[in-house]
Amino acid sequence: MTDLTSLTLAEARKGLAAKTFTSLELTDAHLSAIEAARVLNAFVMETPEQARDMARAVDEKIAKGDAGPLAGIPLGIKDLFATKGVRTTACSKILGNFVPTYESTITSQLWRDGAVMLGKLNNDEFAMGSANETSCFGPVGNPWRREGSNTTLVPGGSSGGSASAVAALLCMGATATDTGGSIRQPAAFTATVGIKPTYGRCSRWGIVAFASSLDQAGPIARSVRDSAMLLRSMAGHDPKDTTSVDIPVPDYEAAIGKSVKGMKIGIPREYRLDGMPAEIEKLWSEGAAWLKAAGAELVEVSLPHTKYALPAYYIVAPAEASSNLARYDGVRYGLREQGRNINELYENTRAEGFGAEVRRRVMIGTYVLSAGYYDAYYLRAQKVRTLIKKDFEDCFARGVDAILTPATPSAAFGIGEKGGADPVEMYLNDIFTVTVNMAGLPGIAVPAGKDAQGLPLGLQLIGRPFEEETLFSLGEVIEQAAGRFTPARWW
């Protein structure tokens, strides 16, 4: 039955509907795969009993012909999503054994549509990281290795567990979140498809917050179609999140296979970095050529404020994080380290509960919001953000339908290889992705090829607000041209 795990979500849906196999069988196959892949450390909490219960319940519904669009599909859930009765930690020690009494809006919509929860997935602590190395549960292994090497590589971050689990066939899809690239970069590192929808497309209610104005949830899946199916269930207006937008959710899957003829694709000249590896450059040109071959028109565009995006992002995101993480104080839930007075309790709890990267960002954020620095940092960064947004608006106003860029400046790297001495080295991973969060736009990462060492590389498509469908159409063109990539199993 293990080959059930290699099906795409769309294929599994067909098999379930035809009663070729049951959701319980599909779920069991994945539970076995998870058990066999513990070395990857993708799951931080396995919920096999709950998974089987859910699968049985869905099977009954399928039998009655009362099946939702994701009926019987086993999924992994990033540990940032609150799951009722199931430990939710954001992979931070400070949440300890926190068990929510509530279910995030997104996951409750997935269960509504019949999906099955396999467990909780590893991520960077509070989603702060680009390699999944800051998790309190330890790093995640990428199922991909360099040819001829047995060095374990990072799956990217912060949704490293999601990307690794999907690539290693441990779940048919996963929820993820993206604040500066946390869906798209790990998708690119693992040859999976990840889409960060438009800000406001998905509810943030019940997702542990990192930077509220940038956070947006989305799926990671094994094909463009699969990601479209998942997003349809995840998206939607939620009165409990006032930043979510009340516009109808289209049938994203219908965009798959739609002609891209006549679409205008912008190639931004500012994304051509000095010292960019030749193979990234080549991948980019190839992707452009595939789109052109499918009838799209290529135009060079300019996004002049791109170079300020990363520094501005590393002011805005930590500023919001420093405030969002203030609630983890040891008073009401999670870890508490006693002290002789309340200030010591705060200091001890937060020093013990937060890892180094989280502490660094809380300190940066506190600093940039401080009296006397606010104008020079936070306010200026917000101005930059406005300019970045305007860059994109100008571009779209000239008729550009989507923008094509590389997803990452490199392929996956080894655990501990980057950022040890200089955190900025790690931050540079997000150079192509942060602009999209700053502008609140949708962005998809699609596998497009491999580097010389056999590691996957991805391309990113950036769309107009709430035009995710365009990205699915274009993404599928790349997917068709590039083919699909599956890692050789070593675990």
Partner 1 sequence: MTTATHKLLNGATGDWEVVIGMEIHAQVTSKSKLFSGASTAFGGEPNSQVSLVDAAMPGMLPVINEECVRQAVRTGLGLNAQINLRSVFDRKNYFYPDLPQGYQISQYKSPVVGEGEVIVDLDGGRSVSIGIERLHLEQDPGKMLHDRSPSLSYIDFNRCGVALMEIVSKPDIRDAEQAKAYVTKLRSIMRYLGTCDGDMEKGSLRADVNVSVRKPGAPLGTRCEIKNMNSITFIGQAIEYEARRQIEILEDGGQIEQETRRFDPSKGETRSMRSKEEAHDYRYFPDPDLLPLEFSQQFVDELKAKLPELPDQKKTRFVADLGLSAYDASVLVAERESAVFYETVLDKLGNRARDGKTAANWVINELFGRLNKEGRDITASPVSAEQLSGIVDLIGEGTISGKIAKDLFEIVWQEGGDPRALVESRGMKQVTDLSAIEKVVDDIIAANPDKAAQVKDKPQSLGWFVGQVMKASGGKANPQSVNDLLKSKLGI
* Rg, Å, the chain Cα set: 21
From 41, 238, 247, select the one nearest 154 (Cα to Cα): 41
From 36, 228, 217, select the one nearest 123 (Cα to Cα): 217
210 Rama class: left (phi>0) / alpha (psi -120 to 50) / beta: alpha
Q: Closer to partner 1 by CB, 81 or 485: give it.
A: 81
Max CA pair span of the chain: 70
Q: Closer to partner 1 by CB, 10 or 207: give it.
A: 207
CA 32/CA 345 separation, integer angstroms: 43
Q: Which residues of 75-97 are buried (b: 16+ CB within 10 A; e: fewer)?
A: bbbbbbbbbeebbbbbbbbbbbe
From 118, 175, 164, 171, select the one nearest 140 (Cα to Cα): 164
Q: Closer to partner 1 by CB, 149 or 242: give it.
A: 242
Query: Please, what is the minimum distance in Å from the beta carbon of residue 473 to partner 1?
Result: 31
The residues, any chain, with a CB within 8 Å of residue 473's CB and separated by 6 or more, are 255, 256, 257, 258, 259, 260, 263
Query: Please, what is the minimum distance in Å from the beta carbon of residue 127 to partner 1?
Result: 12
Query: Please, what is the minimum distance in Å from the beta carbon of residue 319 to partner 1?
Result: 6
Query: Please, what is the minimum distance in Å from the beta carbon of residue 207 to partner 1?
Result: 5
What is the contact surface with partner 1 in residues (CB under 8 A)? 81-82, 88, 90, 95, 98, 100-102, 104, 204-209, 211-213, 239-243, 319-320, 322-323, 325-327, 329, 331-333, 342-343, 346, 366, 369-371, 374, 378
35 Rama class: left (phi>0) / alpha (psi -120 to 50) / beta: alpha
Q: Closer to partner 1 by CB, 258 or 389: give it.
A: 389
Q: Closer to partner 1 by CB, 78 or 232: give it.
A: 78
Active site residues: 158, 182
List the alpha helices (DSSP H) in 354-467: 356-368, 380-397, 423-427, 434-439
Q: Closer to partner 1 by CB, 229 or 319: give it.
A: 319
